[in-house]
Amino acid sequence: MDAPRRIACFAAALLIPCLAEAAAVPGGAAEGRTALEAARAAYRQAVPFRETLDLVIELPDGRREPKKLEYGVGKKGEAFLTLSSNGKEAIRIATRDGRMVGIQINAPGRYAETPYQGDFAAALLRMGGGPAQLSAPPAVAAVQGAGLGAFLTALRLGALAPLEIAGFQPAASGSTLVKVELRAANGTMTVGIDPKSHLPREISAALGEGKQQVRVTGHLTLAAGDPGAALAFPDLAGRTAVATLQDLDSAGYPLGQPAPKVTLRSLDGATVSTADLRGSVVVLDFWATWCVPCWTALGHTAELAAWARESGLPVKVFAVDTQEETRDPEEQHRRAAEFLRAKKLDLPVLLDPGSAAFSAFHNPGLPSLVILGKDGRLAGHYSGLMNEMVPTVRGEILELLKALP
């Protein structure tokens, strides 16, 4: 998987995973709240510092992927955040002098920038962190005055639904950590905290259920002292500024070019070729069964597909299942069908075994939408989750329908 192009999926999978086996102490929510309040205070007292979160993500197909999240706060309140996959830095965000700057390895000619007034979470939101499934790390949020509610929001890391404290476990035999259990509508999380330093040391979480569940375990290491060069801005020479992280991806997509001619098979056995779709506006939602943000995006795409069917307009909407671990078309068909049943989704699905279509469409990312105009050219590209996806894309479709030919 091309990690830089999958930054939304990677970020979304940062905290998703393993429900603790020990039973929670009855009425332990109060103890859990106390432990998290102590963690917030410990981070505030630790400034300046640099913290590393090493993760192992277990995907539904059994693959295990190592990831790393690094972040820290300097003496003057400067902060930074980096995401790495397989030992390679994929994205870097730094703040100083009233600016937040972000770069992505696959967009060498551009950088994202937004004003910064000492609130990393707010600035990251303006930069498009929400659609990219990025949020301020809990440690940074705590240092910058986040209350317990905002601290819990930071723990979600853009993937889990709003969290509530569900229980508390004292240190079990053979462990030096107490554990706070958190619960969300779409998963669970356990935070292991050192009762002496009050700092979090381990996390585990679980998002989804059944065969589509994604699991993650992580270890946190805090190093006291100024982060130094990590706080510096990256070299911006020769780069053009854009407003959001999504613009880093979309600005480089080859819009205006003829759409690749690919032929795919649908779940019901029909054959669909992009060459035969000229005269219609076509929306392709690239997704995978293991991609956590894709689960949300598919719900919006299903709504868009229903509108397209009911409108009577020349509009075709397809969800393209790609980047799956298996190259066996029959196995991919089984997994996709099972996924749609489990999620109760109704929309046209095309299968892309071997991800040939994904590559032909210039590796658009997961999740992502690619829009083809009536003339068969690439007319739109949206990477990551979108705010107001359905009305935004519907408006673009209507504009394209007005255009010639």
Where are the chain's structural domains? 3-249, 255-402
Furthest-apart CA atoms within the chain: distance in Å: 72
The pLDDT assigned to 17 comes to 32
Tokens found for residue 301: 């795409």
Q: What is the 3-state secondary structure (H, E, C) of 87-148?
A: CEEEEEEEEECCEEEEEECCCCCEEEEEECCCCHHHHHHHCCCCCCCCCCCHHHHHHCCCCH
Fold match between 3-249 and 255-402?
Answer: no
The pLDDT assigned to 94 comes to 97
Strands 281-287 vs 315-321: parallel, antiparallel or unpaired: parallel
Superfamily of chain region 3-249: Lipoprotein localisation LolA/LolB/LppX (2.50.20.10)
- DSSP states of 132-193 as a string? TT----HHHHHHTT--HHHHHHHHHTTTSPPPEEEEEEPPPTT---EEEEEEETTEEEEEEE
Are the CB atoms for 213 and 231 separated by under 8 Å? Answer: no
Torsion, CA 365, CA 371, CA 375, CA 376, rounded to 10: 30
Torsion angles phi and psi, residue 269, rounded to 5: 95, -5
Are the CB atoms for 133 and 118 separated by under 8 Å? Answer: no
The pLDDT assigned to 111 comes to 94
The pLDDT assigned to 175 comes to 79
Strands 281-287 vs 187-193: parallel, antiparallel or unpaired: unpaired
Superfamily of chain region 255-402: Glutaredoxin (3.40.30.10)
Instruction: Please give the C-alpha separations between residue 30 and each of 167, 198, 202, in angstroms, as whole numbers.
Output: 8, 16, 20
DSSP, res 231: G
Q: Is the dihedral of CA 126, 131, 133, 138 positive or negative?
A: positive
pLDDT tens track, the chain, 405 positions: 443 344 444 444 443 333 333 344 445 899 999 999 999 999 999 999 999 999 998 887 777 888 899 999 999 999 999 999 878 888 999 999 999 999 988 788 899 999 999 999 999 999 988 777 788 999 999 999 999 999 998 898 677 889 999 999 998 877 799 999 999 988 899 999 999 999 999 999 998 777 778 888 999 999 999 999 999 998 899 999 999 988 887 777 899 999 999 999 999 999 999 999 999 999 999 999 888 788 889 999 999 999 999 999 999 999 999 988 777 889 899 989 988 998 899 999 999 998 999 999 998 888 999 999 999 999 999 888 887 899 999 999 999 998 755
The pLDDT assigned to 404 comes to 56
